[in-house]
Amino acid sequence: MSQKILIEIKNLKKSFLMKDKAVEVLKGINFKVYQGEFVVIFGPSGCGKSTLLNILLGLEAPTEGEVYYEGKDFYSLTEDERAFYRRHHVGMIYQQPLWVSSLTVAGNVSFPLYLLGLPEEEIEKRTAKILEMVEMSARKDFVPTEISSGQQQKVSLARALAIDPILIVADEPTGNLDTLSGYQLVKTFTKLNEEEGKTIIMVTHDLEYLRFGTKIVHMIDGQIVEEYFPKRRKELPSNFKGYKKSINGQSEINVRDPDLLKKLKL
């Protein structure tokens, strides 16, 4: 790909101390995110997806390895500088939206805009526009916890999009949603990716949504075991229907560690 590399992760390791014993959660991860990609990371619970995401966002420092944003070593920056990067360039959506409880729907959506120090009128304009876009204008004066989780996730998306980010990070955004709402949300991601060229990193364990990604990353036990680049959307290889299928080494599927897969009896 001739596209610009947005994020590059090199030999990323992370271990936690648990009862005086170091538990390695990430065991040397290398991968790149190009601008305009829709990366879907999937894997079983406890495989280190969320830890990877946290490190990616600059929330916790890796034990080893580096994260580069646009060629810059992210962890050479201070915590505040990383926070500034996030507030200016990254939109986030979590399974459980992190609401500021004292603010209304509109207030929460405009929150990241206030962090940018924008003028009041502009904030109001942009908030109204983005709420219109996610069809939540009617709920703008509600307290976020009063509306349904599907609606909440829409607002959450609106909040993530408010700052017009270059990167959207979604950690199991469909976790709390019914199938239809989840599907709609991911459809929106796709639309954003295709029409506005947003780079999206989505973590999920719902295989249903794998087919929306332009790059699919399979993680097991702190390692990336396979990467797949579907040529077209919604096209998944027949041998990529789950972890149970063996992988034949097709060209598009980048099997990182066949031995490991065998060992795991996949």
Partner 1 sequence: MTILTRIKQINFKKISWRAILGNIKGFLGVIWRMMAFFVLLFIFLFKKFNLWFGKLPKIRNVWHFFQEKTGGFFKPFSKRLTVVVDKIDYSFGRRKTRRTFLINLAFSNLMLKKSRTLMTVLGMSIGVGAIVFLLSLGYGIERLVIKQVATLEEMKIIDVSAGDNTSLRLNRHVYEKIKEFREVQEVIPIVSVVGKLTYNKATMDVVVYAVPKKYFDFSHSKLIKGEFFASGAGVEQSRILPPDLRGKVAGVEFQAEEGEYLKKIAPEKVSFNILPGERAKVFAECNVSAKMLGYTVRSEGGYQGEWIYGSSFYPNKQERVIIDKKRNIYLGRWLRGYFPLYQVGLDGDLKQDMGDGERQSWVEGCIPEREVEVNVPLRLGGVLGEATEAGTFTSDSASGSSTLFETVTVASSAGGLEVVTLQATSSAKLQQNIVEFKAPVSGQVVVSSGLLNLLGIPWEKIEGTEFTLSFVLVKNLMPEIEGRATTTEVAYKVIGVIDDENSSYLYIPFADLYNQSITGFSQMKVVLAKKEDLEKVRKEVETMGFKTSSVVDTVSQIENLFANIRIVLSLLGFVALAVASLGMFNTLTVSLLERTREIGGMKVMGVVAEEVEDLFLAEAMIMGLAGGVGGLIIGSLAGKLVSLIFSLIAFAKQGIFMDLTYTPPFFIIFIICLSFIVGVITGVYPAVRAKRISALNALRYE
Chain contacts with partner 1 (rule: CB under 8 A)? 50, 54, 57, 59-60, 79-80, 83-88, 90, 92, 94-96, 98-103, 107, 111-112, 114-117, 171
Encoded tokens for 133: 């876009």
- Residue 128 β-bridge partners: none
222: exposed, middle or buried (Cβ count in 10 Å: 0-12, 13-18, 19+): buried
**51/214 with CB nearer partner 1:** 51
User: Are the C-beta atoms of 108 and 117 separated by less than 8 Å?
Assistant: no
Q: How far is the CB of 68 from partner 1 (least distance, A)?
A: 19
**Placement of tokens 């989780």 in the chain:** 149
Nearer to partner 1, 162 or 200 (CB): 162
Report in angstroms how near the CB of residue 13 gets to partner 1 at its nearest: 18
Q: How far is the CB of 160 from partner 1 (least distance, A)?
A: 9
Q: Tell me whether residue 156 or residue 193 sits nearer to partner 1 (CB atom).
A: 156
Beta bridge partners of residue 224, listed in sequence order: 219
Q: Shortest distance, CB of residue 170 to partner 1, whole angstroms?
A: 13
- Alpha-helical runs (H) found in the chain: 49-57, 79-89, 105-115, 120-133, 149-162, 179-195, 258-263
- Can you tell me the distance from the alpha carbon of 34 to that of 200, in angstroms, rounded to the nearest whole number? 10
Instruction: Specify the residue, 14 or 215, whose C-beta has the smaller distance to partner 1.
Output: 14
Min separation Cβ 93 and partner 1, Å: 11
The C-alpha atoms of residue 43 and residue 245 are separated, in whole angstroms, by 14
Helix (H) or strand (E) holding 120: helix 120-133
Q: Specify the residue, 167 or 210, whose C-beta has the smaller distance to partner 1.
A: 167
